[in-house]
Structure 1
Amino acid sequence: MRTSTRIAGVLTGLTLALGGAALAAPAAHADVTACINQVERELQGGEAPDSIRMACYAGLTGDHEKCVSGLTAGGVTNGTAVTACRVSVT
């Protein structure tokens, strides 16, 4: 195998690997943001406190119960909490 062909293959592989990582990284952040936005709609324009942000992060990690209980403890209605936690993982 020629050296130039081998180098081209390695560079192509690196490009695909790094490009995939760059595309995947913003998605995780967007999920937490979607959860927070859902809660802020209920708060009618108010900014979500840190406790709400942490509860949404728990939903992102897959702990649905902790997410819902954290949001309801922060004053969010149960229906909105369930919806917000659901969007944090999708």
Structure 2
Amino acid sequence: MRTGSEPSTARSPLRMRFWFSVWGLVWAAFGTTAFALTGRTAWAVVCGVLLVVVAADLAWVVHRMRQGPHFQPGRDIPPYDPPDPP
């Protein structure tokens, strides 16, 4: 919902989130491999779970990037009223 305080050209930082996900994917894969080779099974499982979470986030970011830009209200469309405080 627009409150009128954000710029009309605001965009989500998907490219930055993409590169953070790639960075996390590399480190989680490295951690999983390193802990598995050194016999630390619990840490390898933790890094493996993190690897799955980061891979799912990366897939979601790529999906959103492929959708392209969405409709953004222009300057001629008035903003919504801010929500009433509870």
When you count helix as a share of all residues, which structure comes out higher?
1
TM-score w.r.t. the length of structure 1 is 0.32
TM-score w.r.t. the length of structure 2 is 0.33
